[in-house]
A = this chain, B = another copy of it.
Amino acid sequence: MTTPAADWLRLDQQICFSLNAASRAFGGVYRVILKDLGLTYPQYLVMLVLWEHGELPVKRLGEHLRLDSGTLSPLLKRLEAAGLVQRERSAHDERSVRVRPTGEGLALRERAAEVPRRIAAATGFDLDEIQDLRARLDRLTAALDSATP
């Protein structure tokens, strides 16, 4: 039994819609949880990378997060204004700007430590389910990326 051709355009059959809805639902949960830290969700992602890798150029940051300078430049400016990161031109390559967490930025890590647990609790999924879903999504992303050169 196959799906009638007319139904292919039904909203509830579009995987991208479910994906988009889930992504925005996550946004809502993060907004609540991150409000205490004074971070938006994309800012939180940037801090995650900085906590993990320490100082690194905007370019590398963008590679980790799949974001370009058009998104990162203003975002980093806001993080700098908030006192969480510092930016300075690299000495031996004046094109590159290196970003590193300030003391305050590093201190924030302690307060962020409980965020993943609170998020996991909000999903109602157990760890195996989350890992499995992550794996599928990463495979999907890779396929979609290779389909758009």
Contact = CB atoms under 8 A, between A and B. Distances in A.
Interface of A: 5, 8-11, 13-26, 28-30, 32, 41, 45, 48-49, 51-52, 64-66, 109, 112-113, 115-117, 119, 121-125, 129-130, 133-134, 136-138, 140-141, 143-145, 147-148
Task: Quickly give the copy total for this chain.
Answer: 2
A113 B4 CA distance: 12
Given A5-B113, A15-B123, A21-B138, 20 more contacts: A8-B117, A9-B51, A9-B113, A10-B48, A11-B48, A13-B116, A14-B48, A14-B116, A18-B141, A19-B137, A21-B66, A21-B141, A22-B141, A23-B23, A25-B148, A28-B144, A122-B143, A122-B148, A133-B136, A133-B140
